[in-house]
């Protein structure tokens, strides 16, 4: 076994974390807090400066934690990727978005692999953490890394270990969420397992990187499909005059064989809306069509259109048209209590409402401004007067800090896409799925 093995055990291993975003920064801090020296690398000078100044831009990493690891000299950020030569293990956490036509956009993984290849040292362990289709580590990353002249599994070690973090989740963190690792050979798996055991309570080795890659995408497909199923049920309940929320509550009483998923205005974030397409795309190489994935994406992506249609109908029954209606969207983050607006359905809803000439404003205590196709928008103050002046208030994100009683008391009409007004009384409330 390589000497990195002893270095991990003696806690003298140095870890490089590439990409200091939602995944990379918490990981870098977790390794530092476990007593390892960490070099954080990013292409954005601003992020690097903020990290070195102890200023966090990721809600899950408090400034107190960041300052503490900096004070102990356990974390340093840099844009200088030649310093990858100095570390023993390299965890790559760069973005894996989609192109406009929803094909995998692997340019970040490819360009970072080229950089790592340039500075690769004998004995180093490289781990890809970015979510991607099965085969990326072996078919895309490995050949680029071997351009260094070093041989995988012999001169250096290579594994895939998907990041499982759930931003904003206070209960499950890097430490208590099981971490999957799959190496290109037995030694790579063993080394990756040993490395992650330093920050995660449970590390689960699998037979190869492809299994680890598919596991992560499958977890996200599972969520996407189940959310689509319950979104479809919400549509049906609207037609049948039943409440999907009541049905879910009743179904959830079954102690086995069921777990609740909830309908909403659509899916957002960097994972659930994107990752299933990575698999659907790869599957085509095998003349295979992942029908569940496509169907779920179709249903989930239609939800913002459905929300806008419901608002249009509600205004219509009140003798108003959407054209010129004053509409306040509450919450633009893709889920509660976080500041992330990537792929947020609220942005789509705002865009669609504006295209129909509605006068749209938004409030989100976590997001001071947003960019939509029509330009920049600022979050408005959520005052009683503001609520009362609207033709419709749309609850799009159920941030815990919102006083829904106050919203319902002040607004003329509330369209609740999250089911958070259940238990409140008022004939001005209309809910998705009812
Ligand atoms: N956000 C999540 O909840 C989450 C959860 C699990 C997995 N993931 C996956 O993890 C990966 C990273 O996602 P994220 O949310 O942290 O993205 P992010 O956009 O928040 O962060 C990525 C960072 O990488 C940097 N970067 C880009 N190219 C680089 C390069 N060549 N060298 C150094 N830095 C570079 C960017 O500047 C950015 O700071 C994605 O594959 C994503 O699907 C995300």
Report the nearest-CA residue for atom 41 of ligand 1: 130
- 168 — pLDDT class (breaks 50, 70, 90): confident
Higher pLDDT, 11 or 399: 399
Comparing CA positions, the residue from 301, 343, 128 lying closest to residue 216 is 128
**Mutate which of 59, 94, 144 to test ligand 1's pocket (most atoms within 8 Å of Cβ)?**
94
153 lines ligand 1 (CB under 6 A): no
145-169: average pLDDT = 94
21 lines ligand 1 (CB under 6 A): yes
Beta bridge partners of 177: none
Question: What is the pLDDT, as a whole number, of residue 167?
Answer: 81
What's the 94 CA to ligand 1 centre distance in angstroms? 4
- 166 — pLDDT class (breaks 50, 70, 90): confident
Report the nearest-CA residue for atom 7 of ligand 1: 163
165 lines ligand 1 (CB under 6 A): yes
Question: What is the pLDDT, as a whole number, of residue 209?
Answer: 98
What's the 96 CA to ligand 1 centre distance in angstroms? 7
What's the 388 CA to ligand 1 centre distance in angstroms? 41
161 lines ligand 1 (CB under 6 A): no
365-388: average pLDDT = 95
**Mutate which of 16, 17, 18, 21 to test ligand 1's pocket (most atoms within 8 Å of Cβ)?**
21
Q: Among this protein's residues, is 93 annotated catalytic?
A: no
**Which ranges of 318-356 does DSSP label H, i.e. alpha helix?**
345-355
State pLDDT tens for residues 322-339. Answer: 999 999 999 999 999 999
State pLDDT tens for residues 55-74. Answer: 999 988 999 999 999 999 99
262-288: average pLDDT = 95
**Mutate which of 79, 112, 270 to test ligand 1's pocket (most atoms within 8 Å of Cβ)?**
270
Dig out the tokens for 402 from the structure: 């919102």
Comparing CA positions, the residue from 113, 122, 125 lying closest to residue 192 is 125
91 lines ligand 1 (CB under 6 A): no
Mean pLDDT computed over every residue of the chain? 96
Residues, the chain: 434
277 lines ligand 1 (CB under 6 A): no
43 lines ligand 1 (CB under 6 A): yes
Question: What is the pLDDT, as a whole number, of residue 134?
Answer: 98
Question: What is the pLDDT, as a whole number, of residue 1?
Answer: 47
Dig out the tokens for 22 from the structure: 């939602």
**Mutate which of 18, 29, 42 to test ligand 1's pocket (most atoms within 8 Å of Cβ)?**
42
Question: What is the pLDDT, as a whole number, of residue 139?
Answer: 98
Q: Hunting for tokens 């690891």 — which residue is that?
A: 69
Question: What is the pLDDT, as a whole number, of residue 72?
Answer: 95
Report the nearest-CA residue for atom 20 of ligand 1: 21
State the helix-helix crossing angle for 209-240 and 291-317, rounded to 10 degrees. 30
Catalytic residue among 208, 271, 392, 401: 271
User: For residue 98, what is the DSSP state?
Assistant: B
Question: What is the pLDDT, as a whole number, of residue 60?
Answer: 87
168 lines ligand 1 (CB under 6 A): no
> Is residue 2's pLDDT more than 80?
no
Q: Are 199 and 181 in contact (CB under 8 A)?
A: no
Comparing CA positions, the residue from 247, 252, 224 lying closest to residue 237 is 247
> Is residue 229's pLDDT more than 90?
yes
State pLDDT tens for residues 90-127. Answer: 999 999 999 989 899 999 999 999 999 999 999 999 99
Question: What is the pLDDT, as a whole number, of residue 172?
Answer: 93
Q: CA–CA separation, 246 vs 185, rounded Å?
A: 50
Phi and psi, residue 381, nearest 5°: -70, 140
207-221: average pLDDT = 97
What's the 22 CA to ligand 1 centre distance in angstroms? 6
The vertex-57 CA angle with 114 and 300, nearest 5°, equals 80
% the chain with pLDDT above 90: 95
94 lines ligand 1 (CB under 6 A): yes
Question: What is the pLDDT, as a whole number, of residue 169?
Answer: 87
């Amino acid at each position: 076994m390589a000497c990195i093995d002893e270095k991990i055990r003696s806690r003298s291993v140095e870890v490089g974390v590439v990409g200091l975003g939602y995944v990379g920064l918490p990981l870098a801090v977790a390794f530092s807090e476990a007593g390892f020296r960490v070099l954080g690398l990013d292409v954005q000078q601003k992020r690097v400066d903020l990290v070195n100044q102890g200023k966090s831009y990721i809600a899950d990493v408090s400034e107190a934690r960041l300052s503490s690891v900096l004070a102990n000299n356990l974390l340093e950020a840099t844009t200088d990727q030649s310093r990858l030569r100095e570390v023993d293990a390299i965890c790559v956490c760069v973005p894996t978005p989609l192109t406009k036509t929803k094909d995998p956009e692997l340019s970040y993984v490819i360009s970072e692999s080229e950089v790592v290849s340039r500075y690769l040292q004998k004995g180093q362990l490289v781990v890809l953490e970015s979510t991607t289709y099965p085969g990326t580590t072996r078919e895309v990353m490995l050949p680029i890394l071997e351009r260094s002249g070093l041989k995988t599994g012999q001169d250096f070690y290579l594994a895939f270990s998907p990041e499982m973090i759930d931003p904003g989740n206070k209960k499950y963190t890097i430490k208590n969420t099981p971490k999957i690792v799959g190496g290109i050979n037995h030694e790579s798996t063993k080394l990756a397992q040993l490395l992650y055991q330093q920050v995660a309570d449970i590390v689960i080795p699998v037979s190869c990187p492809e299994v680890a890659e598919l596991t992560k995408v499958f977890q996200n497909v599972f969520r996407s499909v189940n959310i689509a199923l319950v979104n479809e049920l919400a549509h049906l309940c609207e037609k049948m005059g039943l409440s999907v929320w009541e049905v879910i509550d009743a179904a959830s009483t079954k102690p086995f064989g069921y777990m609740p998923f909830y309908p909403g205005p659509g899916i957002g974030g960097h994972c659930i809306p994107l990752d299933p397409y990575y698999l659907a795309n790869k599957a085509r190489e095998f003349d295979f069509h992942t029908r569940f994935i496509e169907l779920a994406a179709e249903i989930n992506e239609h939800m913002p259109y459905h929300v806008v249609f419901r608002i249009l109908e509600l205004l219509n029954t009140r003798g108003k048209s959407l054209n010129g209606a004053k509409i306040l969207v509450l919450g633009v983050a893709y889920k509660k209590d976080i500041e992330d607006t990537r792929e947020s359905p609220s942005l789509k809803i705002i865009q669609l409402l504006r295209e129909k000439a509605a006068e749209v404003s938004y409030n989100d205590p976590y997001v001071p401004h947003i960019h939509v196709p029509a330009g920049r928008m600022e979050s408005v103050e959520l005052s009683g007067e503001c609520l009362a002046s609207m033709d419709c208030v749309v609850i799009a994100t159920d941030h815990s800090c919102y006083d829904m009683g106050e919203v319902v008391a002040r607004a003329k009409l509330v369209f609740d896409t999250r089911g958070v007004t259940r238990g409140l009384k008022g004939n001005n409330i209309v809910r998705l799925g009812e």
